[in-house]
Amino acid sequence: MIDKVEHIPVLLDEVINALSLTKNEIYVDATFGLGGYSSAILNKQNCKVIAIDRDPLAKIFADNLKKSFTDRFYFKNGKFSELDKFLNELNIYKVDGVVFDLGVSSPQLDTKDRGFSFKLDGPLDMRMSCDGPTAEEFLDKVEENTLANIIFELGEEVFSKRIAKNIILERSVGKIRTTGQLAKIIRDAIPIKHSKTDPATKTFQAIRIYLNDEITELEQGLIAAEKVLRPKGKLAVVSFHSIEDRIVKKFFLNCLNNKSLSRHLPELPKKEPSLEILTKKPILPSKREINFNYRSRSAKLRIARRTSYNSSFGEIK
């Protein structure tokens, strides 16, 4: 059953400590998942939590948590890039902490019908919000050069051209319908023993990131979080691969130095820093946590604190 899936929050103690929880304050769990962070926050302190998740199945776990914290927990099914709008709907304009866990949730990985895992043979889906084109539909239409660029840029895969070529060749023979089919195509394109991890890892990551527009979503989510944080409010972000971590690091530095977040955004007018960086280097999971939860091995936690200066991106309207 989906509501019985086990989930172990990554760097939980470190995240809770980073937020400096205080009675009656308001915190945002921007990536609710199975509710590990939300539950820990609510049990640790008599505060309120606003949780967000784009996966409609997350509501199952949110409804269970709501039973225990009726007046202190609120859930919204949607994208965290719009968290400021969701807060406005609750007449909340400033919060005391925001946490992001950018990893794929356990139900998404462990449920073969979701199509996220190359280890489980299921339909090629990979949609976090369960709407829009599936990975199967995407692979059925994408051009070879475009696919190679996506795999290289979002998966950092050096064999991106070979993989893309193999996928297009296989597609000409018949539709690629399952994760098992796709994983085999990718593995056949990569020299034996080239990688310590499964050869399909980076390509699956790239297709998932592209399909769910995760880069833009992350950039816009960080901006929204910076806007809603009150002075001294904490922003804690757990990432799981280098692309995400670079975006978070750059965002923190840009809010400190007032530079444009990326090529997608205009240069910012010179202002005082809106964030103070609290982690010069990311916090990593302990060996004990990795032994207990192997999925935590690549996690990195970065923490920043909101200053009393105006937002680098304009105040909430």
Cβ distance 30 to 83 under 8 Å?
A: yes
Q: Which pLDDT does position 118 carry in this prediction?
A: 80
For residues 311 and 273, give the distance between their C-alpha atoms in angstroms, rounded to a whole number: 8
Is the residue at 98 inside a domain? Answer: yes
Is the residue at 113 inside a domain? Answer: no
pLDDT band, very low/low/confident/very high, at 42 (cuts 50, 70, 90): very high
Q: Within this chain, do residues 157 and 169 fall inside the same structural domain, yes or no?
A: yes
Is the residue at 84 inside a domain? Answer: yes
Q: Which of 217, 272, 223 is nearest to 252 (CA)?
A: 223
**pTM reported for the whole predicted model:** 0.90
Q: Within this chain, do residues 42 and 186 fall inside the same structural domain, yes or no?
A: no
In this prediction, residues 83-90 reach a mean pLDDT of: 96
CATH number (domain holding residue 189): 1.10.150.170
Q: Within this chain, do residues 6 and 32 fall inside the same structural domain, yes or no?
A: yes
Cβ distance 147 to 155 under 8 Å?
A: no
For residues 64 and 293, give the distance between their C-alpha atoms in angstroms, rounded to a whole number: 24
Across the beta sheet with 48-53, the strand order is 73-77, 48-53, 26-29, 95-101, 229-239, 300-306, 275-277
Q: Within this chain, do residues 256 and 198 fall inside the same structural domain, yes or no?
A: no
Q: Which pLDDT does position 315 carry in this prediction?
A: 62
> Residue 40: is its pLDDT beyond 80?
yes
Q: Within this chain, do residues 251 and 302 fall inside the same structural domain, yes or no?
A: yes
Is the residue at 189 inside a domain? Answer: yes
> Residue 5: is its pLDDT beyond 70?
no
The DSSP bridge partners found for residue 238 are 101, 301
Measured CA to CA in angstroms, residue 37 lies from 12, 65, 77, 98, 282 at distances of 7, 11, 17, 11, 19
Residues in the chain: 317
pLDDT band, very low/low/confident/very high, at 1 (cuts 50, 70, 90): very low
Q: Which pLDDT does position 3 carry in this prediction?
A: 44
Helix (H) or strand (E) holding 16: helix 12-19
Q: Which one is predicted more confidently, 203 or 130?
A: 203
pLDDT band, very low/low/confident/very high, at 167 (cuts 50, 70, 90): very high
Q: Within this chain, do residues 149 and 100 fall inside the same structural domain, yes or no?
A: no
Is the residue at 256 inside a domain? Answer: yes
Is the residue at 316 inside a domain? Answer: no
> Residue 314: is its pLDDT beyond 80?
no
Q: What is the mean pLDDT of the chain?
A: 90
Q: Which pLDDT does position 2 carry in this prediction?
A: 45
Domain that holds residue 18: 2-62+72-107+215-306
Q: Within this chain, do residues 28 and 96 fall inside the same structural domain, yes or no?
A: yes
CATH number (domain holding residue 293): 3.40.50.150
In this prediction, residues 211-235 reach a mean pLDDT of: 97
| Each residue's pLDDT tens digit, 253-305 | 999 986 555 555 555 555 789 999 999 999 999 999 999 988 889 999 999 99
Q: Within this chain, do residues 235 and 261 fall inside the same structural domain, yes or no?
A: yes
Q: Within this chain, do residues 139 and 228 fall inside the same structural domain, yes or no?
A: no
Q: Within this chain, do residues 16 and 101 fall inside the same structural domain, yes or no?
A: yes
Point out the domain boundary residue: 156, 180, 211.
Answer: 211
| Each residue's pLDDT tens digit, 173-198 | 999 999 999 999 999 999 876 667 88
Q: Within this chain, do residues 96 and 220 fall inside the same structural domain, yes or no?
A: yes
Please give the tally of structural domains in the chain.
2
Point out the domain boundary residue: 188, 211, 234.
Answer: 211
Which of the residue ranges 113-127, 151-165, 262-276 would you say has the lowest mean pLDDT? Answer: 262-276
Q: Which pLDDT does position 4 carry in this prediction?
A: 44
Point out the domain boundary residue: 211, 237, 254.
Answer: 211
Q: Which pLDDT does position 112 carry in this prediction?
A: 76
Q: Which pLDDT does position 278 carry in this prediction?
A: 97
Q: Within this chain, do residues 103 and 231 fall inside the same structural domain, yes or no?
A: yes
Q: Which pLDDT does position 197 carry in this prediction?
A: 81
Q: Which one is predicted more confidently, 116 or 31?
A: 31
